[in-house]
Chain A
Amino acid sequence: MTSATAPANVEAYLAELRAELADLAADERDDLLAEVEASLLESAGDEPLAAQFGPPAAFAADLRASAGLPPKPSAKPAREPRIDWSRVLTQTRVLAPIWWLIRGYVAVAAIALLANAKFSARQPAIPWLGSAQVGALAIAAGVLISVAAGLWMRVPRPLSIAGNALLALALIPVIAHLAAPERNPVQSDASAVQQLEALRYQQSLAGLTYNGGIVQNVYAYDRRGRLLHDVRLFSAGGTPLDVGAADPTRREVTTKDGPVLNAFPIRYYEPGTRKVADPDAGPKVLAPPIVTPPLK
């Protein structure tokens, strides 16, 4: 501890006060400090100034309050208004490996998007390159190359900036894709099967199916192997096995109660006529006569 009467000590205390009052108008601050300086010089005793007058910050706060001046702004006074970009860059450099990982993926995903490749339905982040596994491998390779390039490859600075900027730009479509993957045609083994099944189910609701396949027409042959006409089919519950709906080209089959849709085979008129061109048209099947004795 230096002697409180030493002018150097007073100067130091004043300097701290000046810093505490840095936000005030210069003349206001100088008047206050001039007042304080004279008094400090005279009143300073043998004990340290801070012990006698309190810490400079508290002293300054008292000065402000009693002088009717605003309190010290809580935010740090702008002593360093200029951002030290080189320091920011150095600190940001720590995050570079994270960017390497991201850009590796972005490169693969962007190329896949550019090539209009499909993406895995379950993992929309993974491009569908024949299979999701290949897509995942491509991503892993991209990330590995990117990290390796970041660690060891030395390219001219402008080239490096341009490349990274390009990949940063590519982030936009990739993120857009990740946010709304259904915009791209979704494809995978599983989803294709599901879609087909859904389609079949919908169609089966409207007609007949056999082992999951749509039955569009039914051809009945009698014991002797002759194609039958206008055979009416019903389910065990008595429901007519209708297929499709009446359309203008479909041959209309009518009973006294009205048109029916369960008469097979369904025949179609020649366009613009009411004539069926080939009433015996049927599947190319061999239906040899039945040799089992008839039931009655």
Chain B
Amino acid sequence: MDRSQLLRGVLDAAVLATVQRADGYGYDVVRRLRGSGLAEVGDASVYGTLRRLYRGGALTSYVVPSDEGPHRRYYGITDRGREQLGEARTTWAEFSAALTDLLEPDRTEVTA
């Protein structure tokens, strides 16, 4: 299975979840996603996703001055973003349960 292809459909949820844990700036979010095990996450797609979620009102943003290099634009989740993440969580739970059933019919319980 092509993991980057799979990622495309769930990147919104992954980014929202990451930012929900703690506000973050672009590269910070990339690094944390990769740290979560999504090694194939692309820099460009995370930056684009952040901008889109921000434009759609799921994220808020603020600039933090930095002593070294340019200012960092941090993103935080909004109420709308939390709502969107909740929907994504439900969708993913149903989807992953269905696929797990299909792929591993003997398994009775899905462990997180």
Question: Contact residues of A with B, CB < 8 Å?
Answer: 31-32, 34-39, 41-43, 53-54, 58-69
Q: Which chain B residues lie closer than 8 Å to A31 at the CB level?
A: 51
Please list 5 pairs of residues, one from A and one from B, whose beta carbons are closer than 8 Å in the complex, sorted by A's number.
A32-B47, A32-B51, A36-B47, A63-B44, A64-B48
Q: Let me know if B96 is at the binding interface, CB within 8 A.
A: no
B16 to chain A, nearest CB (A): 14
CB distance from B55 to the nearest CB of A (A): 8
Q: Does residue B27 face the partner (Cβ distance < 8 Å to A)?
A: yes
Q: How close is B9's CB to chain A, nearest CB, in angstroms? A: 12
- Asked if A66 and B43 sit within 8 Å, CB to CB, the answer is no
Beyond the given A59-B44, A66-B44, A66-B45, please list 19 additional residue pairs across the A-B interface where CB-CB is below 8 A: A31-B51, A32-B51, A34-B73, A35-B26, A35-B47, A36-B26, A36-B43, A38-B25, A38-B69, A38-B73, A43-B31, A53-B43, A58-B44, A59-B43, A62-B42, A62-B44, A62-B48, A63-B45, A68-B48
Query: Known: A35-B51, A39-B30. Is A66-B73 also a contact (CB below 8 A)?
Result: no
Measured between beta carbons, the chain B residues less than 8 angstroms from A37 are 70
For the A-B complex, the count of residue pairs with Cβ-Cβ distances under 8 Å equals 75
In the complex, chain A residues whose CB is within 8 Å of the CB of B69: 38, 41-42
Across-interface contacts of A60 in B (CB, < 8 A): 44
Shortest A72–chain B CB gap in Å is 13
Contact across chains for A42 and B27 when beta carbons are under 8 A apart: yes
Collect the chain B residues with CB atoms within 8 Å of residue A61's CB: 44
Binary flags per residue of B32-73, CB closer than 8 Å to A gives 1, else 0: 000000000011111111111001000000000000011111
**Residue of B11, B30, B48 touching A32 (CB-CB under 8 A):** B48
Q: Within the complex, which residue of B27, B48, B50 is in contact with A65, where a contact is CB–CB below 8 Å? A: B48
Q: Which residues of A contact B47 (CB under 8 A)?
A: 32, 35-36, 39, 63, 66-67
A35 to B72, CA, bound (A): 8
Q: How far is the CB of A209 from chain B (nearest CB, A)?
A: 93
Cα–Cα, bound, A37→B47 (Å): 10
A36 to B55, CA, bound (A): 16
A37 to B71, CA, bound (A): 10
- Identify the 6 closest CB pairs spanning chains A and B, nearest first: A66-B48, A62-B44, A67-B48, A39-B27, A66-B45, A39-B26
CB distance from A51 to the nearest CB of B (A): 13
In the docked arrangement, what's the CA distance between A59 and B50, Å?
A: 15
Q: How far is the CA of A64 from the CA of B42 in the complex (A)?
A: 13
Given the complex of chains A and B, what is the CA–CA distance between A37 and B70 in angstroms?
Answer: 8
Residues of the A chain whose Cβ atoms lie less than 8 Å from the Cβ of B48: 32, 62-69
CA distance A34 to B27 in the complex (A): 12
Query: Is B45 in contact with A65, judged by CB distance below 8 angstroms?
Result: yes
CA distance A267 to B75 in the complex (A): 121
Name the residue among A39, A43, A62, A69 with the largest chain B CB count within 10 angstroms.
A39
A32 to B30, CA, bound (A): 15
Q: How far is the CB of A13 from chain B (nearest CB, A)?
A: 12
